[in-house]
Amino acid sequence: MITYDRLFIGGAWVEPSDPGLLGITSPHDRSVIARAAQARPADIDRAVAAARTSFDEGGWRRTPPAERIAILRRFNALREENAERIAALITLENGSAAWFTRAGQAGLTRQANAYLKAAEEFGWEETFASSDPASPVRSVVRREAVGVVAAVIPWNSPFSSATSKIIPALVAGNSVVLKVPPENSPSMGFLAELLEQVGLPEGVVSVLPADRETSEYLVRHPDVDKIAFTGSTRAGRRIASLAGEQLKRVSLELGGKSAAIILPDADIEKAVAGVKFGSLLNNAESCIAQTRILAPRSRYEEVVAGLKGLIESLKVGDPDDPGTFIGPMIRPDQQARVRDYIRLGVEEGARLVTGGPQIPEGLEEGNYVTPTLFADVDNSMRIAQEEIFGPVLVVIAYDDEDDAVRIANDSEYGLSGGVWSADEEHALAVARRIRTGTVTVNGASVAFDGPFGGFKASGIGREYGAVGLGTYTEYKTITV
């Protein structure tokens, strides 16, 4: 049994204000796998006070960037050394397939290295001569830390979401209070153990599991300067409104309902194979999942048949089993939500090609759903417009390229998307027309050096690389 009976506040393990421990249950069989203390408002006050003091009176923000980078490199190396344990913890608490959590560790390395490379090349302080001869001044332009950062992350990809915030925030010289979901208490407790070892000054970082009410208390806290949030669009709207009241800096990475456009000249077999990873990764509990498949009418049934074969070939079951591709949903309420959407699809008149609301045979004790494919879907249907966050794909027919782009853009979201074509330059031209923050061509992986984030209701601001690092800094101009 994993137990965390203390909270990591300001770099030290302390007694929580509430001594009760929350039982964390396995998505696979609903057994209790861990017990952990949960933060309450009093603990938030303590963590924010530590962060405020460390920022205002400590030396972290005045530490040369090279030294801050070196400490975060140590953290990244320590994380790599413990990759197997991290992967196992996420599989245990989230139900993510073991192959995925192990493979994801390499992505975490690339993500961190991109931030650290950007930090080494970042213009922390630059000097410019005036372009006006009548005003012979020079300007010193500095990028300084924002202050106390409240980083709030979702449960579906905890280490990736956490490190995508704490690494740039800390490298920039901020102090951080990381609020994590209760479900991720085991993996995030281990994250705190790693941070404890790398030599960060007192007060600079706290890691607190807490419920939504306590999370809102943190967001509202008057001593927080910036909120960095990843989660649902509904929660993002609430956070944006609270941030607006206090003029806090805010960055939001929110939901998605992304489209994959299969152009008429595409290799259907390759496109279908790509859907396996672009649409169903991490049990499809992913904000970037391309769950709307747009197929040309001329090849529509070919695409549907290919996707049917793919989905029926995927093994659903124990996430620890090396052969499993789809594990359980994280909680019973998420399982019920996905099953309700499947029933809704049938009610809306979509053709149920494979799957359905039934729980897979032999997996009734866990939070399992049957991967499902709908065809003959109109883009106005709720199953095509709303984020389901589970292995449910819809196939939508289009008439021509303009129609495909129109359908792809006919969404309140704009986080991700994909284009499949035998002609890469043509695919690139189509990708430029899609109003979304990231687009992959022929299944390319996301590059961590480029900015990541959303258009429309998918968020505000960007993460990754130099652009993501910059969101944790303020510009200061000094004229001499």
Q: For position 400, what pLDDT does the model report?
A: 98
My answer on whether 64 and 179 are in the same domain is: yes
Residue recorded with tokens 């004790």: 365
My answer on whether 347 and 230 are in the same domain is: no
What SS3 class is residue 385?
helix
The predicted model gives 353-374 an average pLDDT of: 97
**Backbone dihedral angles phi then psi of residue 36, each to the nearest 5 degrees:** -150, 145
Nearest-angstrom CA–CA distance, 123 and 389: 39
Q: What is the pLDDT of residues 241-293, one digit of tens each?
A: 999 999 999 999 999 999 999 999 999 999 999 999 999 999 999 999 999 99
- Is residue 227 within 8 A of residue 150, CB to CB? The reply is yes
My answer on whether 226 and 291 are in the same domain is: no
Q: Which domain holds residue 221?
A: 2-254+457-479
Other beta carbons within 10 angstroms of residue 48's beta carbon come to: 23
Catalytic residue, chosen from 216, 285, 287, 463, is 287
Q: What token pair was written down for 410?
A: 């006919």
Q: What percent of the chain has pLDDT over 70?
A: 100
Angle formed at CA 35 by CA 33 and CA 37, multiple of 5 degrees? 155
Q: For position 119, what pLDDT does the model report?
A: 97
pLDDT above 90 (res 228): yes
My answer on whether 250 and 263 are in the same domain is: no
Residue 350: inside a domain = yes
**Backbone dihedral angles phi then psi of residue 184, each to the nearest 5 degrees:** -100, 20
pLDDT above 80 (res 8): yes
Residue 163: inside a domain = yes
Q: For position 135, what pLDDT does the model report?
A: 77
Q: For position 134, what pLDDT does the model report?
A: 76
Alpha carbon 173 to chain centroid, angstroms: 23
- Is residue 401 within 8 A of residue 391, CB to CB? The reply is no
pLDDT band at 131 (very low <50, low <70, confident <90, very high): confident
My answer on whether 248 and 263 are in the same domain is: no
Q: For position 237, what pLDDT does the model report?
A: 96
My answer on whether 191 and 299 are in the same domain is: no
My answer on whether 296 and 227 are in the same domain is: no
My answer on whether 193 and 70 are in the same domain is: yes
Residue 452: inside a domain = no
Other beta carbons within 10 angstroms of residue 423's beta carbon come to: 12
Q: For position 447, what pLDDT does the model report?
A: 86
For the chain, counts of helices (H) and of strands (E):
15, 21
My answer on whether 246 and 269 are in the same domain is: no
Q: For position 136, what pLDDT does the model report?
A: 82
Q: What is the pLDDT of residues 52-84, one digit of tens each?
A: 999 999 999 999 999 999 999 999 999 999 999
CATH number of the domain to which 434 belongs? 3.40.309.10
Rounded to two decimals, the pTM is 0.96
The predicted model gives 232-237 an average pLDDT of: 96
Residue 213: inside a domain = yes
My answer on whether 119 and 78 are in the same domain is: yes
My answer on whether 340 and 241 are in the same domain is: no
Residue 87: inside a domain = yes
My answer on whether 413 and 369 are in the same domain is: yes
Nearest-angstrom CA–CA distance, 240 and 229: 10
Q: What is the pLDDT of residues 175-208, one digit of tens each?
A: 999 999 999 999 999 999 999 999 999 999 999 9
Residue 189: inside a domain = yes
Catalytic residue, chosen from 253, 285, 387, 463, is 253
- Is residue 215 within 8 A of residue 31, CB to CB? The reply is no
- Is residue 448 within 8 A of residue 290, CB to CB? The reply is no
pLDDT above 90 (res 446): no
Residue 81 a catalytic site member:
no
The region of weakest confidence among 122-136, 289-303, 395-409 is 122-136
Alpha carbon 155 to chain centroid, angstroms: 9
Report how many domains make up the chain: 2
CATH number of the domain to which 148 belongs? 3.40.605.10
